[in-house]
Amino acid sequence: MQEKDCLFCRIIRGEIPSSKIYEDEYVYAFLDIAPSFAGHTLVVPKNHYKNILDIDAGEAGHIFAAIQKIAPAIIKVTGAEGFHVLQNNNEAAGQTVFHIHFHIIPRKTGDGMTLWTPTPYENMEKMLETAQKIRAEIQ
């Protein structure tokens, strides 16, 4: 289940070169070409899914199993003290390649990377109201 012109499908098929880190029946992982830090890796299902709402949940399990194998190796090689598993959905959230992928980003204390600026609710009522509305939408 691949797409002809998708960048990551093409990398998986070997039509475009990549720095492969890991491969199994379901998963392909390779170094990000524009990393946050050395070792920044992309973990990708071999089948083409657009985002996290689209991927088969069983296949997402294979991705997580692969991350559990790959992340310790990245930590060992880079000397990282921690890491992110980060996944962007849709353009507004920074997704630029529309074949789902999980970033493994190694982190060290004081490395200067920031992810988000906290924006508190106006008050506790607003927070409870938001939670209630979201709960009501879950099917």
What positions carry a catalytic annotation? 101
Binding of ligand 5GP at residue 115 (CB under 6 A)? no
The dihedral over CA atoms of 105, 107, 113, 119, expressed in degrees to the nearest 10, equals 90
96 vs 114, beta carbon nearer ligand 5GP: 96
Distance CA 37, CA 34 (A): 9
- As measured in angstroms, the least distance from the Cβ of 86 to ligand 5GP is 8
Distance CA 117, CA 93 (A): 15
Sketch the per residue contact string, 11 through 50, with ligand 5GP: x for CB under 6 A, - otherwise. Answer: -------x-----------xxxxx-------x--------
* Residues at the interface with Zn ion (CB under 5 A): 3, 6, 8-9, 48, 99
Among 47, 51, 78, 88, binds ligand 5GP (CB under 6 A): 88
Burial grade of 121 (CB within 10 A; 0-12, 13-18, 19 or more): exposed
Q: Which stretch binds ligand 5GP (CB under 6 A): 21-29, 55-63, 76-84, 93-101?
A: 93-101
Which residues of the chain form contacts with ligand 5GP (CB under 6 A)? 7, 18, 30-34, 42, 88, 94-97
